[in-house]
Structure 1
Amino acid sequence: MVEHMKWWGWGQEGVSFHHEDKPGLAPFVLERVDLDLHGPGAPVPDFAKFSVPPSQAPGPLREALVAAVGAGHVVDDDLDRVVHAYGKSLRDLVRIRRGDFGRVPDLVVYPGTEQEVEAVLRAALDADAVVIPFGGGSNISGSLEAPRAETRPVLSVDMGRMNALLEVDETSQVARIQAGALGPHLEAQLNGRGWTLGHFPDSFKHSTLGGWIATRSSGMQSDRFGDIADITRAVRVVTPKGVVATRNVPSQSTGPSVREMVLGSEGRLGIITEATVQVHRIAEERVILAYFFPDYGSGLRAMHDIAASDASPSITRVSDANETAFTFATSKKSSGLSAMLSRGVKLYAQKRKGMDLSQMCLSFIGFEGSAAHVKRSRTLVGEIVAKHGGFCVGAGPGKLYDQKKFDTPYIRDFILDRGAIGDVSETSSTWATLETVHDNVVAAANRAFDQIGVKGFIFCHLSHSYHMGACQYFTFAYVASGRRDELEEYDIVKGAIQQAFIDNGATLSHHHAVGREHSRWWEQDVSPAGAAIVRTLLDGVDPGRNLNPGSITG
């Protein structure tokens, strides 16, 4: 009964993006990237027409796995194996639509306990098999695929059966949770006891606690609750050296942090089975307000001042002018009061505030906690926003954002079915460099669009604020030219953006991990000496390169 996404795309079967109720979107997309949304999309791929390489699992390995987890939890079904062959990166979606499945896992194994995970890993090592842990399958950095040239047996270890909330320590405000718990199931179990983890990445509905830890995930409310690295207090990991069990303590001075080594390890050190995580009581009050700023620079400076103030919002997000225009274009048809409000906001911004509507930037700021805390934070934020020329337009747009915050990835499938490439890259840098990073990344992307001869579009938002800086999340789209292989063109654009991160002092990824997609920039990011230390660690734990070989280090 483990839940999986569509084998060919994002999310649940029967759920997809459509634009008919968004009258401004089709003309906007046609103008910006020359894509006609009214044209027919490619049909859903017919799995029966594809040829899946047969399982190469040797009999003794299969028998050992059946002895470990039971016959019903060792699967060699073609569809299940293909579901576990890739994540959901743009590259993955293009290849899977072509029927290019890469090195398909030979078996998918579903352990139900930590002891079964130990038995699975022992059997795999004895057979010199490759082991790739699998959570929700939402990874977009190439962390779930086996090397194409791999000749050894390949196992995908799906943690979906290990999905329980084990314990809540209400005094210490922590919970023990199995690593295979999907975001909605995890929150439902905690909410039933009056608690929340507070971690809501874009992939929330289709990603797991173990996956978040393995990739150093961030959520939409990380300003208040922290990234998963802040939330995770202890881990249990099955490794070739035994079970790693770090202590559940608030802080310690015991040499290099083993917990930190596990965070972001992408399955290279072992299989995460459970974690102890910080939890919080469900807030008395929660509200997300929308604001407008004259331009992106004003919004960035306001976010800086908010981070430096006594206000403690749960969300700080500001879109640049391009993303703001896209957001307006995706709005549903308004009528009555809402249409009057929209016209009134634009009139107020233009006539009373002197804003250039083409440069105006939308911001969402969230507040959560006691009524008194929310009131004080809203007041402080309102003063800062006004100082930077912005104004508040209330909670209505914030409610809509909250309802639709997990739906954006469906758009990528929709445009891909119509010949367009859409993807994301995100980074973090200091407050002093944010605007420069933004401008130089946009310029690099536009040069790449020119290089491949397409009309492209790139936009950005600040999504997480910290004491010293913030994350900026870029989205880009263009119609494939047809003059080259579409993945070759994609590499040119994606590579230009990623290299611009590195060249401008930012990081290659803030929360999407390294995988294979970003491994070519990894050494530039962590330094050659730092890369040597990590390689030494990985080789020491896994000298046979049985654990997800190729991820992170290439």
Structure 2
Amino acid sequence: MNSPISAREVKRHKWWGWGLDDITFRWDNKPAFPGFAKSKIGMDLEKLTPAPEPQLSDYEVPASRLGAEDRAALAGIVGEDNLLDDDEYRVVHSFGRSVIDLFRARTGDFARIVDAVIYPKSDDEVQQILAYIVEHDLVAIPYGGGSSISGSVTPNVNEKRPIITINLGRMREVISIDDTSGLARVDAGVYGPDLEEQLNELGWTMGHFPDSFTYSTLGGWAATRSTGMQSDRYGDIEDIVRGLKVVRPDGIVETKPIPGRDSGSSIHEMILGSEGRLGVITECTVRVHRMAENRVVIAYMFPDWESGIRAMHAIARSEVHPVFTRLSDGPETAFSLSMLKEPKDKKGEITRKVQDTLFAYLRKKGWDTENEMCMSYVCFEGSKAQISREQAAVKKIVKKAGGITLGAGPGAIYDQKKFDTPYLRDFLLGLNVFGDVSDTGTTWARINEMHSKVYDTFYAKLEELGIPGFFFCHMSHSYHQGACLYFTFAVPYANNEVMLEQYTAIKHAVQSEFQKHAGTLSHHHAVGTEHQPWIEEEVGPLGVKMMRDLYETQDPGKNLNPGKIVS
């Protein structure tokens, strides 16, 4: 069990970027990266100096709009130490970690920030807070870890009422575990690493590891329909969360952690993905699994994207049950190889020589190792015998598709570095380059078409804008009927005046292409405000009306995170 903590002890991001200051992206220990960056987006790292770290004192932070009487009443609920309204805490909680949010934060665009951050410790305190907010016509925004890239925690710039962020970081316990049923009751404010640490100590794991794992919470995952890297084995968050407790101004709604539901329209499903519009998720009952005896990530290589997709599809339809399958396309594979560090010892030098020899051999076989070759990772867990059987089966599938097996070495490196990518985005923004992602879910029948058409659209938009850029993609999160395509782009911009316009044009072009080919507006990054323009294409006008009617009926005063999902 965790010891009680105060508001200022709750983990948080730095105000202008991802994570804390002790981790930054370095390029000087990656010999191939400078040349790669110059060839793809014209960025000469040897001649560029990153912008200095932003200083909040350089900007004017608007005063809090929370009146003294309201402040005293809310502080009376949680204690004076657990209501914070100093500038840095208000700025941190006013932005997620989308490109737009980070750009606004780094340039001091504080036109509307939250007025106070409150840290409850119990359901009763949450309900008292919400009841007060509704009665006195304030606005509440629930906040998990602040890792949202869809505008889900960002206040409406036109909101005139005082805005209170509710941070559940003090509610962070694994309350109990039902060993027989494989269920755990968990406070929603627990961060991913803290959750796994508590479970692991007792021999359990939840198995949910999104890219944002280190700076996101269980409640945030449920409120945004998160998906983790290991969803092939452990499921998406809607598979993992079996019961919910949602605190509302007028009471508490609980859903039972049962294996079947025959009770009409699902309240449980209604709450998942609701982004605070229906209340504050304070507790989840989740599926947990005994920790695996062994774990290994094996790397494979394919001559091209189509070969790799054939293998991924075959694995999804086989009797093998991997923890995850991931396929990087040619451009992403080239990017990943450019990120390899300089060998530090003889073993590293030998590994690099073996790689060079292998790539030379593949080129003789006709592989395009610079543009088309695709790397894949497959993770196996279980007993040694089980892993051996599944590895053998996957090796056959890979070979039949024209690929080769590389082994566990590259896979181990991937597993160690899988949560580090957000720091690269901060680094790029400091050099006037915006990097972002757009993800979609699509069927196996349309996955290659989607991949190709989105590429065409991205580069057509760059040509229209007259600017360079780089685009890459991977496939992950395999299902029986399809998979996720996760696109990443990096585009340099000339100055701050054109950045948002260019970013929005590119992002909108990519997102619109998803809809043209029957993809989802996002596979696992929520709706918020950034994906809201496509919600009607996703669910239809009557679907939007149903959601709007639900939110307006349950929150007639628009006090609960208004403006998210549907306007």
Write the distance in 2 (CA, Å) between the matches of 1:542 and 1:370: 50
1:327 aligns with 2:339: no
Q: 2:43 aligns with which of 35, 42, 46?
A: 35
Write the distance in 2 (CA, Å) between the matches of 1:174 and 1:493: 43
- How far does residue 242 in structure 1 lie from its aligned partner after superposition? 1.7
Write the distance in 2 (CA, Å) between the matches of 1:384 and 1:123: 60
Write the distance in 1 (CA, Å) between the matches of 2:534 and 2:27: 37
Query: Secondary structure of the residue that 2:358 maps to in structure 1?
Result: helix
Write the distance in 1 (CA, Å) between the matches of 2:90 and 2:497: 30
Q: 1:394 aligns with which of 404, 407, 422?
A: 407
- How far does residue 63 in structure 1 lie from its aligned partner after superposition? 2.1
Q: How does 1:197-216 map to 2 (within 5 A)?
A: 197-216=206-225
Q: Is the 8 A contact 2:127 2:250 kept in 1?
A: no
Superposed CA offset, 1:480-529 (max 9, x none): 14495200000010000000001111011000001011100111111111
Amino acid at match of 1:176: R
Q: Is the 8 A contact 2:144 2:220 kept in 1?
A: yes
Which residue does the alignment assign to 1:355?
A: 367
Which residue does the alignment assign to 1:250?
A: 259
Superposed CA offset, 1:141-175 (max 9, x none): 00111111111110000010001110010100010
Which residue does the alignment assign to 2:11?
A: 3
Q: 1:86 aligns with which of 79, 83, 95?
A: 95
Give % identity. 49
Q: Is the 8 A contact 1:241 1:541 kept in 2?
A: no
Write the distance in 2 (CA, Å) between the matches of 1:225 and 1:345: 34
Computed over aligned residues only, the root mean square deviation of the Cα atoms, in angstroms, reads 1.1
1:488 aligns with 2:496: no
- How far does residue 14 in structure 1 lie from its aligned partner after superposition? 2.2
Q: Is the 8 A contact 1:453 1:481 kept in 2?
A: no
Q: Is the 8 A contact 1:108 1:158 kept in 2?
A: yes
Q: How does 1:178-327 map to 2 (within 5 A)?
A: 178-327=187-336
Which residue does the alignment assign to 1:177?
A: 186
Which residue does the alignment assign to 2:166?
A: 157
Which residue does the alignment assign to 2:522?
A: 509
* TM-score normalised over the length of structure 2: 0.96
Amino acid at match of 1:46: Q
1:12 aligns with 2:20: yes
Write the distance in 2 (CA, Å) between the matches of 1:280 and 1:91: 38
Which residue does the alignment assign to 2:3?
A: none
Q: Is the 8 A contact 2:188 2:217 kept in 1?
A: yes
Query: Secondary structure of the residue that 1:166 maps to in structure 2?
Result: strand
Q: How does 1:442-481 map to 2 (within 5 A)?
A: 442-481=455-494
Q: Is the 8 A contact 2:432 2:495 kept in 1?
A: no
Q: How does 1:345-424 map to 2 (within 5 A)?
A: 345-351=358-364, 353-357=365-369, 358-424=371-437
Amino acid at match of 1:32: K
Superposed CA offset, 1:329-369 (max 9, x none): 11112453112221132133233x54222311000000012
Superposed CA offset, 1:207-234 (max 9, x none): 0000000110011100000011110000
Which residue does the alignment assign to 1:21?
A: 29
Write the distance in 1 (CA, Å) between the matches of 2:399 and 2:180: 41
Superposed CA offset, 1:373-424 (max 9, x none): 2122111111111110001010000000011000001000111100111111
Which residue does the alignment assign to 1:518?
A: 531
Q: 2:357 aligns with which of 317, 338, 344?
A: 344
| Bigger Cα displacement from structure 2, 338-347 vs 27-36 | 338-347
Write the distance in 1 (CA, Å) between the matches of 2:85 and 2:349: 56
| Bigger Cα displacement from structure 2, 296-305 vs 482-491 | 482-491
Gaps of 5+ in 1: none
Amino acid at match of 2:338: A
Write the distance in 2 (CA, Å) between the matches of 1:260 and 1:488: 36
Residues 483, 111 of structure 1: CA spacing in aligned structure 2 closer, same or farther, 3 A cutoff?
A: closer
Q: Is the 8 A contact 1:233 1:276 kept in 2?
A: yes
Q: Is the 8 A contact 1:425 1:473 kept in 2?
A: yes
Q: 1:76 aligns with which of 79, 82, 85?
A: 85
Query: Secondary structure of the residue that 1:146 maps to in structure 2?
Result: coil
Which residue does the alignment assign to 1:546?
A: 559
| Bigger Cα displacement from structure 2, 31-40 vs 496-505 | 31-40
Write the distance in 2 (CA, Å) between the matches of 1:241 and 1:534: 20
Amino acid at match of 1:197: M
Instruction: Name segments (4+ residues, structure 1) moved above 3 Å.
Output: 481-484
Write the distance in 2 (CA, Å) between the matches of 1:187 and 1:520: 36
Query: Secondary structure of the residue that 1:546 maps to in structure 2?
Result: coil
Which residue does the alignment assign to 1:49?
A: 58
Query: Secondary structure of the residue that 1:526 maps to in structure 2?
Result: helix
1:100 aligns with 2:100: no
Superposed CA offset, 1:445-492 (max 9, x none): 101111211111100000110010000100001111449520000001
Write the distance in 1 (CA, Å) between the matches of 2:257 and 2:172: 20
Q: Is the 8 A contact 2:128 2:249 kept in 1?
A: no
Write the distance in 1 (CA, Å) between the matches of 2:123 and 2:280: 9
Q: Is the 8 A contact 1:61 1:124 kept in 2?
A: no
Write the distance in 2 (CA, Å) between the matches of 1:176 and 1:20: 45
Q: 2:68 aligns with which of 43, 59, 69?
A: 59
Write the distance in 2 (CA, Å) between the matches of 1:51 and 1:85: 15
1:531 aligns with 2:544: yes
Query: Secondary structure of the residue that 2:477 maps to in structure 1?
Result: strand
Q: Is the 8 A contact 1:452 1:481 kept in 2?
A: no
- How far does residue 271 in structure 1 lie from its aligned partner after superposition? 0.4
Query: Secondary structure of the residue that 1:465 maps to in structure 2?
Result: coil
Query: Secondary structure of the residue that 2:283 maps to in structure 1?
Result: strand
Q: Is the 8 A contact 1:345 1:393 kept in 2?
A: no
- How far does residue 122 in structure 1 lie from its aligned partner after superposition? 0.8
Query: Secondary structure of the residue that 1:488 maps to in structure 2?
Result: helix
- How far does residue 59 in structure 1 lie from its aligned partner after superposition? 2.5
Amino acid at match of 2:493: A
Amino acid at match of 1:103: R
